């Protein structure tokens, strides 16, 4: 998979900033690849990039328009198609992380064929996966898990990779979602894998490695989310983590897009260990990553301290305070 830079990030008319988390993740970790953003009327998201139309973006040298949004079901709204076709006719490749394939939209497929541009469906891997085997393999693995969706598992994983490398450790980020694939240039969108092969895909993503090597596997969903628990469980079994970090957003009362109450951190720890022992009996929690974006400095400091003390674990906000305490705990595992 090759995606040409620079990017124009298409935000459509999404109703909140979380819906544009794919675009925001690309901006946060690959800002140098991003030329601008294209927003339709009514868009409530803003990634802080220059607003551009298709013509301006093309004049600026943009090579790929990335559909940088997510929505329930991963479908492409009909009223976005005209803008995508306009970008195609201007000579841009189109890349998306949605479940719906670009080529399944007749207008887009026809325009791409006429213009000779690429349609890139990041979520759909061409790799064939075996079923998971659960056999213990060399190397070490860390998985980020969540009390909900969109709580910071990807950012925590990327911050841990950087922190571990800065500490002289041998670590690699393993992307399991479309944004992570855009950022790292490799990986597999685990939620688009047929259920029987999710664990096998996670094994393929984090194969046998040197004894001191850590795969930092990006988590997905939550074991407690009624929509996505199946994906989270398959990823847990296949990743076979030696360590995991619980990611949590403390201001939420309900899980995203459902009426289910937010999961308790202690329950997440217990459930992750109970299910994780199937493929790694030595699985252990090494820290808490608290997403304090919605809090001021004093409130953030207090909640991080309180939760760390309550659960007896290193706690931090990977973006606000860094991940050094968790990295130190990981190093203690050897």
DSSP state string for 51-116: B--HHHHHHTT--EEEE----TT----GGGHHHHHHHHHTT-EEEE-SSS-GGGSHHHHHHHHHHT
Task: Produce one character per residue of 63-92: b if its CB has 16 or more CB atoms within 10 Å, e if not.
Answer: bbbbbbbbeeebebeeebeebbbbbbebeb
- Residue 86 — very low, low, confident or very high, per pLDDT cuts 50/70/90? very high
pLDDT tens for each residue of 245-287: 999 999 999 999 999 999 999 999 999 999 999 999 999 999 9
Residue whose C-alpha is closest to residue 222's, from 243, 242, 248, 241: 248
Residue whose C-alpha is closest to residue 241's, from 225, 226, 219: 219
> Residue 228 above 80 pLDDT?
yes
Distance, C-alpha 35 to centroid of its chain: 22
Domain limits, the chain: 7-121, 140-332
Question: Burial level of 279, CB count in 10 A (0-12/13-18/19+)?
Answer: buried
Average pLDDT, the chain: 95
DSSP code of residue 41:
T
- Half-sphere exposure for 88 (CA within 13 Å, toward CB): 25
**CA distances from residue 181 to 111, 173, 187, 257 in whole angstroms, order as listed:** 26, 10, 5, 24
pLDDT number for residue 21 = 87
Distance CA 229, CA 255 (A): 12
Distance CA 46, CA 207 (A): 38
Please determine whether the domains at 7-121 and 140-332 fall in the same fold group of CATH: yes
CB 90 within 8 A of CB 41: no
Residue 9 bridge partners (DSSP)? 37, 66
CB 258 within 8 A of CB 252: no
- Written as six digits, the tokens of 181 are 């694939």
- Pair type for strands 243-248 and 284-290: parallel
pLDDT tens for each residue of 87-134: 999 999 999 988 899 999 999 999 999 999 999 999 887 789 999 999
Proportion of the chain in helix, strand, coil states, percent, rounded to 5: 40, 15, 45
Task: Produce one character per residue of 217-255: b if its CB has 16 or more CB atoms within 10 Å, e if not.
Answer: bbbbbbbbbeebeebbbbbbbbbbbbbbbbbbbbebeeb
- Written as six digits, the tokens of 216 are 């930092």
pLDDT tens for each residue of 48-80: 999 999 999 999 999 999 999 987 778 899 999
Instruction: Give me the percent of the chain exceeding a pLDDT of 90.
Output: 88
CATH architecture of 7-121: 3-Layer(aba) Sandwich (3.40)
Q: Where are the beta strands (DSSP E) in 177-330?
A: 213-217, 243-248, 284-290, 315-316
pTM metric for this prediction: 0.83
CB 179 within 8 A of CB 105: no
Residue whose C-alpha is closest to residue 179's, from 12, 23, 45: 23
Kind plus residue range of the DSSP H or E element containing 37: strand 34-39
Name the residue with higher pLDDT: 21 or 322: 322
DSSP code of residue 36:
E
- Residue 154 — very low, low, confident or very high, per pLDDT cuts 50/70/90? very high
Query: Which of the listed CATH numbers 3.40.50.300, 2.160.10.10, 1.10.3720.10, 3.40.50.720 matches domain 140-332?
Result: 3.40.50.300
| Rg of the chain on CA atoms, in Å | 20
């Amino acid at each position: 998979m090759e995606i040409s830079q620079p990017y124009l990030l298409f935000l459509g008319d999404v109703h909140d900033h979380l819906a544009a988390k794919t675009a925001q993740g690309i901006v946060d970790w690959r800002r140098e690849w991003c030329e601008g953003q294209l927003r339709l009327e009514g868009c409530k998201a803003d990634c802080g990039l220059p607003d551009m139309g298709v013509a301006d973006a093309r004049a600026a040298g943009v090579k790929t328009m990335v559909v940088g949004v997510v929505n329930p079901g991963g479908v492409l709204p009909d009223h976005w198609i005209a803008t995508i076709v306009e970008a195609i006719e201007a000579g841009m490749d189109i890349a998306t992380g949605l479940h719906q394939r670009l080529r399944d939209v007749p207008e887009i497929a026809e325009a791409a064929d006429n213009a000779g541009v690429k349609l890139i469906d990041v979520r759909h891997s061409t790799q064939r996966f075996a079923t998971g085997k659960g056999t213990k393999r060399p190397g070490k693995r860390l998985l980020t898990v969540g009390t909900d969706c969109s709580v910071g598992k990807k950012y925590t994983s990327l911050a841990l990779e950087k922190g571990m490398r800065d500490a002289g450790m041998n670590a690699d980020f393993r992307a399991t979602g479309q944004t992570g694939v855009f950022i790292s240039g490799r990986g597999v969108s685990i939620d688009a894998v047929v259920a029987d092969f999710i664990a096998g895909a996670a094994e393929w993503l984090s194969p046998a490695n040197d004894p001191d090597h850590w795969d930092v596997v990006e988590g997905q969903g939550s074991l407690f989310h009624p929509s996505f628990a199946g994906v989270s469980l398959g990823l847990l079994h296949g990743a076979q983590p030696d360590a995991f970090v619980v990611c949590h957003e403390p201001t939420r009362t309900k899980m995203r897009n459902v009426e289910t109450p937010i999961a308790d951190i202690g329950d997440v720890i217990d459930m992750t260990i109970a299910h994780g022992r199937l493929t790694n009996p030595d699985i252990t929690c090494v820290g808490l990553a608290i997403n304090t974006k919605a809090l001021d400095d004093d409130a953030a400091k207090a909640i991080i301290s309180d939760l760390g003390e309550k659960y007896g674990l290193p706690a931090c906000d990977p973006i606000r305070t860094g991940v050094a305490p968790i990295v130190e705990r990981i190093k203690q595992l050897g």
